[in-house]
Amino acid sequence: MNSTTPLAVGDHPHIRIDEGLDLDCGVHLAPIDVAYCTYGTLSARRDNAILICHAFTGDQYVAEQHPLTGKPGWWSSMVGPGKPIDTDRFFVICSNVLGGCMGTTGPRSVRTDSDGDGQELWGTAFPPITIRDMVRAQYKLVRALGIDRLFAVIGGSMGGMQVLEWTVTYPHMMLAAMPIATAPFHSAQNIAFNEVGRQAIIADPDWLAGRYWQAGVVPARGLAVARMMAHITYLSEEALTRKFGRRVRRGPNQGSAPEGPVSLFGDIFEVESYLRYQGSSFVRRFDANSYLTITRAMDWFDIAADHDGEMRAAFIGTPVRFCVVSFSSDWLFPTSSARVLLRALNQAAANVSFVEIETDKGHDAFLLEEPGFDRTVRGFLCGVAEHAGLN
Amino acid sequence: MRLDQRLIAQMIEPRTRVLDIGSGDGSLIDHLFRSRGCDARGIELNMQLVTRSVAHGLPVMHGDADHDLAHYPDHAFDYVVLQRTLQAVENPREVLRQMLRIGRHAIVSFPNFGHWQLRLKLLFSGRMPMTAVWHTPWYETPNIHPCTIRDFLELCRQDGYIVEQWMAVDEEGERAPWRRSIRLANLFGEQALFLLRRRGA
């Protein structure tokens, strides 16, 4: 893993927003770049746009081959012609989040503010950001695309947090919202998992106090460990058992695991091999300082915090039609946390649909093909279109 | 849509806000939206029916009458509907109270335990009656709070609810001709249907 070279910055389609953003922390960040992808065609009345908010380690490449990994888009089962989010009908936008590392301004961007000389990268000097800051950047993009009101905002996990933040910050900017596998605040358990990930990165000698890019290295081992740990939280015990059980991969193959700790017996369990692969492929596409910045933004997320601790106050009078989805085996964002959100939405008499999808695939289920989930997304969007007279 | 659902729909003014508790496959709220322009939403306990409803574009959430009504604010709806479920909830009196807190009107239907067949079966066989309407044996019935039409009217009187309309219908939902006499309705009606409002509402 130590041989991993620094990330290729690459050129991702983006817009530059010269006036920048006022961040929650008080810093004015300008200019900013927002990298994004679109699919489908914006209608003449500009009323068919759906914004998709990606999860923590996702990016804007929703439904096309990823330029770095060569893999299919992370939600290509959901988004495309004839898919539940049908690009023959809707104009789909997805942007890389603020603080990310796939073209939107973040810790790996060149620092162009008055303190920077245009040569340095932001690194750990990048200001702390919030989920709302991410949403503000998306809002600027949406307006720059000439869209006054979105048809829907959809996202899972951290994407779902952004969806909720959209409904609270810009309630009149959308007809419908789908927060999926998410929660109205980050739980102590989730903050704890994030902290383990951060400590793994910081403890890597190659992190170099956040200035690893100057030395031309990346804290690959720390970042991989963070990813391996996080990946376990995205699955479920049933899913791990079904996929790997206690199967062992015999000695000779073990050499192919790059510099992993040597097994006492020269053999490794398949689940170990899988996690190592997840870790090592992750460091090729994700920046360690982005990891620190974004996990911190998730930790600070709490919809009620801006309303004196009263979550329902955030939603009173909301015109948005909500569809909340949870997954039965998701223990990272369990159905019980969706119900906290639902209670607040009911207290505000909001228009809410809520489905818990039965699955053993854990948190990651929202990224995988789940027939009940696909039908829910498709049907909900059709229903919203019908109510809005958009057929 | 069942005939008794048609009778319920006729009680509901167009373009009002409706909450259907136990919305099933969503046919009532679908009808209310399409033909009456209502903002109609549902709560349903059976997750398969919830998914089916949402997949049909209907605003339905998973939940139940006993636990989820308390969260809604006062007067959030014009009508709150509970079809054929009152006898199966944990606390019927509280559910009714919540319905008339969050809604201006409550529409309640329930199977009438005062029906003559039930009375005769209990009298002559000495065993829990089983009929087309009451068809599950006592040890597995979800209907833990059966009541008669007269019982229900007594509860409405005690809790100060005004009966705006009532009717007794047979199992298929045909309106039955005992509208003048509650005693006859209580003897011959298989299902009872009430439109209530709170005193002063």
Instruction: Give me the mean pLDDT over the A168-187 stretch.
Output: 98
Q: Do B47 and A356 touch (CB under 8 A)?
A: yes
How sure is the predictor about A252, in pLDDT bands with cuts at 50, 70 and 90?
low
Q: Do B54 and A355 touch (CB under 8 A)?
A: yes
Cβ distance B55 to A375 less than 8 Å, yes or no, reads yes
User: If phi over 0 gives left and psi between -120 and 50 gives alpha, with beta otherwise, what is residue A99?
Assistant: left
- Given this model, what pLDDT does residue A250 score? 73
**What does pLDDT average to over chain A?**
92
Do residue A96 and residue A179 come from a single domain? yes
pLDDT at A1: 38
Of all residues in chain B, the one with the smallest CA distance to A385 is: B57
Query: What pLDDT is recorded for position B177?
Result: 64
CB-CB contact of B61 with B50 (8 Å): yes
pLDDT for A2 beyond 50: no
Asked which of A258, A293, A328 is the last residue of a domain, the reply is A293
User: Do the Cβ atoms of B166 and B127 come closer than 8 Å?
Assistant: no
Please give the average per-residue pLDDT across A156-182, as a whole number: 98
Report the percentage of chain A scoring pLDDT > 90.
87
How many Å is the Cα radius of gyration of chain B? 17
Q: Are residues A32 and A131 in the same domain?
A: yes
Using left for φ > 0, alpha for ψ between -120 and 50, and beta otherwise, residue A335 falls in alpha
What average pLDDT does the segment A3-8 reach?
A: 47
Question: Do A322 and A268 lie in a common domain?
Answer: no
d(CA A295, CA A193): 10
* pLDDT tens-place string over residues A270-319: 999 999 999 999 999 999 999 999 999 999 999 999 899 999 999 999 99
- pLDDT above 60 for A6: no
Residue that finishes a domain, picked among A273, A293, A313: A293
- Please give the C-alpha separations between residue B126 and each of B4, B35, B188, in angstroms, as whole numbers: 32, 48, 21
Mean pLDDT of A321-329: 98
* Phi, psi torsion values for A124, nearest 5 degrees: -75, -5
What is the total count of domains within chain A?
2
Look at residues A26, A31, A37, A1 and name the one whose alpha carbon lies nearest to residue A16.
A31
Q: Which of A157, A280, A290, A329 is catalytic?
A: A157
A363 classed as catalytic: yes
pLDDT band, residue A7 (cuts 50/70/90): low
* Pick among B17, B43, B71, B72 to test the A interface (most A CBs inside 10 A): B71
pLDDT band at A105 (very low <50, low <70, confident <90, very high): very high
The mean pLDDT of A357-365, rounded to a whole number, is 96
Cis omega before residue A31 (within 30°)? yes
Residue A28 known to be catalytic: no
pLDDT in tens, A192-239: 999 999 999 999 999 999 999 999 999 999 999 999 999 999 999 999
Q: Catalytic: which of A59, A133, A204, A330? A: A330
Give the CATH number of domain B3-198: 3.40.50.150
Q: What is the CATH number of the domain that holds A250?
A: 1.10.1740.110
pLDDT of residue B147: 96
Low-confidence ranges of chain B (pLDDT < 50): none
Statement: residue A256 has pLDDT above 60: no
Q: Are residues A246 and A274 in the same domain?
A: yes
Q: What is the pLDDT of residues A27-45, one digit of tens each?
A: 999 999 999 999 999 999 9
Give residue B201's pLDDT. 64
Whether ipTM tops 0.85, in short, is: yes
Domain containing residue A133: 14-187+302-387
Answer whether B59 touches A (CB < 8 Å): yes
Kindly list the residues from chain A whose CB atom is less than 8 angstroms away from the CB atom of residue B16: none
CB-CB under 8 Å, B47 with A348: no
Same domain as A208, residue A266? yes
Strands A174-180 and A21-22: unpaired
Give catalytic status of residue A308 as yes or no. no
Could you tell me if A213 and A180 lie in one domain? no
Query: For chain B, what are the domain ranges?
Result: 3-198
